[in-house]
């Protein structure tokens, strides 16, 4: 394996120089296998968690150590990025049908979730998403995007309107367990607004509507894509992916910078512009104290999509993590390192 001779991260040189040289040499000598990728991902996760451990609560007096941790994280990702990208692109080339099905299902599910749960009800789908979906499944009603839209419309029609609760519109809910949450109990106030039982009941009903909508569509339920994937790959029952097809990216669920901008979720350029507007600003230009600068810097890795708390050790899940992060990380490494250097100079 690529990293057979490398000890676990906790036993390595903190400066990582030996590991960096090994990565560089081996990367040009042989292909990367998945076990190597997991080692790199685990070190990424470990470094990020170690960095976050230094900014618990509101104690940012550990600024120099925080900046040093971020510089080490940046160094690791700068060296690892070509290796991770090579594996990611190789895996996509070998598994385009699975990527299509699972990435489209994920984006469609998030879109439905945003509207049914009213997380970001005005969030839009990426440009060309419906057309790409229909290119493959237009002639298959059970797989179509038209069915996704129909299920969403039906779910939204069963949500109480803004000025009502399920107490006012009980006919909307047919789940007896959810109805029983408020049964025989008066609202805390004469108006339902502020009644925790009403709010909890409505929230539970929204979750149930989302579950029903997703489980009804053949591609949106958990692992329901597997039958379609088999039929597509082995029997060619559906459309053919064009040679210039490129999987959609989903950079972030929320993209909350100053206000939600759904375009940033799917457009790398828009996301990078928003992130750079914060990370590229010097602390000096904003008159930040060392403590204030430490507070800001601690959240910049998350904005730069380096926030890896956990990851599933399965190939598609790792591919998805990389596909939806690497371009953002690459674009913001220099800015993040510059802010860490600036913070170190303040102490």
Longest dimension (CA), the chain: 73
Residue 203: predicted pLDDT: 95
The partner residues of 260 in beta bridges, in order of sequence, read 256
Residue 103: predicted pLDDT: 93
Residue 6: predicted pLDDT: 37
> Taking Cα atoms as reference points, which of 295, 332, 303, 302 lies closest to residue 63?
295
Q: How far apart are the first and last CA of the chain?
A: 42
Annotated domain spans of the chain:
9-96+254-345, 99-235
Which residue, chain included where needed, has tokens 């001779």?
5
Residue 191: predicted pLDDT: 59
Residue 22: predicted pLDDT: 46
pTM of the predicted model as reported, rounded to 2 decimal places: 0.83
Whole-number Å distance between alpha carbons of 105 and 146: 13
Residue 274: predicted pLDDT: 86
Residue 9: predicted pLDDT: 32
Residue 55: predicted pLDDT: 62
Which residue, chain included where needed, has tokens 């039929």?
231
Going from the C-alpha of 27 to that of each of 2, 175, 316, the distances in angstroms are: 8, 56, 22
The DSSP code for 256 is B
Ordered mean pLDDT values, 10 residues apiece, the chain (347 residues): 37 45 49 91 95 64 87 96 96 94 92 90 87 91 94 96 87 95 82 78 96 93 82 86 89 60 73 91 94 90 93 93 96 97 93
Residue 282: predicted pLDDT: 97
Q: Are 210 and 219 in contact (CB under 8 A)?
A: no
Residue 169: predicted pLDDT: 93
Whole-number Å distance between alpha carbons of 40 and 3: 9
Structure tokens at 154: 């039906």
Residue 13: predicted pLDDT: 41
Residue 234: predicted pLDDT: 80
Residue 342: predicted pLDDT: 97
């Amino acid at each position: 394996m690529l990293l057979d001779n490398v000890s676990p991260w906790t036993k390595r040189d903190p400066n990582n120089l030996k590991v960096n040289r090994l990565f560089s040499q081996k990367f040009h000598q042989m292909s990367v296998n998945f076990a190597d990728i997991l080692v790199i991902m685990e070190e990424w996760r470990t470094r990020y968690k170690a960095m976050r451990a230094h900014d618990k609560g509101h104690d940012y007096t550990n600024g120099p150590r925080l900046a040093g941790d971020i510089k080490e994280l940046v160094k690791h990702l700068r060296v690892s990025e070509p290796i991770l990208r090579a594996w990611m692109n190789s895996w996509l080339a070998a598994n385009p049908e699975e990527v299509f099905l699972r990435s489209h299902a994920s984006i469609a599910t998030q879109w439905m979730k945003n509207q049914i749960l009213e997380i970001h009800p005005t969030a839009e789908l990426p440009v060309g998403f419906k057309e790409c979906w229909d290119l493959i499944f237009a002639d298959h009603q059970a797989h179509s995007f038209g069915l996704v839209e129909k299920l969403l419309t039906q779910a939204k029609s069963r949500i109480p309107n803004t000025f009502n609760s399920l107490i006012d519109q009980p006919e909307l809910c047919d789940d007896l367990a959810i109805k029983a949450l408020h049964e025989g109990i008066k609202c805390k106030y004469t108006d339902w607004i502020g009644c925790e039982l009403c709010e909890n009941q409505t929230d539970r009903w929204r979750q149930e509507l989302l579950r029903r909508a997703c489980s009804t569509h053949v591609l949106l339920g958990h692992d329901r894509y597997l039958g379609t994937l088999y039929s597509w790959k082995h029997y060619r029952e559906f459309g053919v992916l064009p040679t210039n097809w490129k999987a959609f990216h989903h950079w972030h669920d929320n993209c909350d910078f100053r206000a939600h901008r759904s375009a940033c979720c799917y457009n790398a350029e828009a996301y990078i512009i928003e992130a750079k507007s914060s990370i590229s600003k010097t602390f000096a230009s904003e008159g930040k104290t060392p403590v204030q600068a430490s507070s800001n810097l601690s959240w910049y890795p998350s904005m730069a999509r380096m926030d890896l708390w956990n990851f599933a050790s399965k190939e598609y899940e790792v591919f998805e993590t990389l596909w939806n992060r690497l371009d953002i990380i690459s674009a913001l490494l220099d800015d993040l390192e510059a802010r860490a250097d600036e913070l170190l100079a303040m102490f």
